[in-house]
Amino acid sequence: MLMKENQQRYESLFENHPDPVLLLSREAEILNMNDAGEKITGYTKDELLPFKSNLLHEDQELYRRHFHQALKGESQEFESIIRYKAGQAILLRITLVPIMVDKEIIGVYCIAKDISEYRKMQRSLLESILNLLSYSRRVVYYKRSVQVKKKNGEKVRNHEYISCQKFKPRIWRSRDFQ
């Protein structure tokens, strides 16, 4: 009874996971794939089983290195580009997890996350920041205010600012202007 329940839990996690999950043999052949895997690659299960998973990746050597480390029992995370069936590139965050049965590694789970849009937004944000800095001769941000005692015992409020001028950050203190 417990064995059947555990099997159903595994199948539920595998099939209902929103990201592609692939079951790979020790030889990197795709043995099973959830529906999300079909959506992200454009290939059906029938087209990919038993396809060598490394052939999907543009940098096959990078994939092989991480796959062999997973076969040694070390989970791996890395980024890789694959080609959708129609030809467009997709940037994925790949997690490879060894499958252990009776203390023996019998295969690898591959979980992939499409990070293409995330990278586009990240690149766009960086370009916007660089454009903002290039149009401004001096951008000054207020950092903090601290109290300083002078030698005569007088308390003076000292302000620190951060400036980005020509992309070289410099810390200015209010006493620099006195």
Distance from CA of residue 160 to its chain's centroid? 35
CATH number at 101 reads: 3.30.450.20
> 82 with 25, same domain?
yes
- Domain end residue (candidates: 117, 149, 165): 117
8 Å CB contact between 91 and 79: yes
Give the whole-number percent of the chain exceeding pLDDT 90: 29
DSSP type of residue 127: H
Residue 119 predicted with pLDDT over 90: no
Q: Classify residue 128: in a domain, yes or no.
A: no
> 99 with 143, same domain?
no
Closest CA to 22 of 44, 9, 37: 37
DSSP type of residue 55: G
pLDDT (mean) for 103-110: 94
pLDDT of residue 146: 52
> 76 with 142, same domain?
no
Q: In residues, how long is the chain? A: 178
Tokens 């595994």 — which residue? Answer: 10
CA distances from 58 to 43, 90, 121 (A): 16, 10, 23
Give the integer Cα–Cα distance in Å for 77 and 69.
Answer: 11
Q: Classify residue 54: in a domain, yes or no.
A: yes
Closest CA to 90 of 115, 122, 109, 120: 115
> 8 with 88, same domain?
yes
Number of domains in the chain: 2
pLDDT in tens, 127-161: 887 777 666 544 444 445 555 555 566 655 555 55
